[in-house]
Amino acid sequence: MANTLVQFRTDEATRIKAIQICEQLGIDLQTYMRMCISRLISENGIPFSMKLNDVQKNKGILALRQMGKISEEKGNSEMTLDEINDEIAKARKDGSAGAL
């Protein structure tokens, strides 16, 4: 089976903190992301609670809301797929693409 590249953007502080946590667990961030995708497939859904019974305290929903807010603040919440691909191509050309 052929491998494919999956990319996404996150702020640098979050990336660094995630790497530090993974290192403490003895894995790298890429391995963790592969584990998440494997669990998504094996669970046939999000592998952590996304229940609406207590939305104000649900960490998954709060994280999704925070991502939406950050995306709106950065002005990229309405980007088309072509615009996203252009940004990725530009970052690769400039050498500013992240580790993921």
Tracing tokens 């500013």 back to the chain, one arrives at: 96
pLDDT at 60: 74
Using alpha carbons, list the distances in angstroms from residue 80 to 12, 13, 31, 74, 87.
Answer: 23, 26, 29, 15, 11
Mean pLDDT confidence for 74-85: 82
- Quick check: 100 pLDDT over 50? no
Give yes or no for residue 99 having a pLDDT over 50. Answer: no
Tally of residues, the chain: 100
What is the per-residue DSSP string for the chain? -----------HHHHHHHHHHHHHHT--HHHHHHHHHHHHHHHTS-SS---STTGGG-HHHHHHHHHHHHHHHHT-TT--HHHHHHHHHHHHHHT-----
> pLDDT above 70 covers what percent of the chain?
84
Predicted TM-score (pTM) of this structure:
0.48
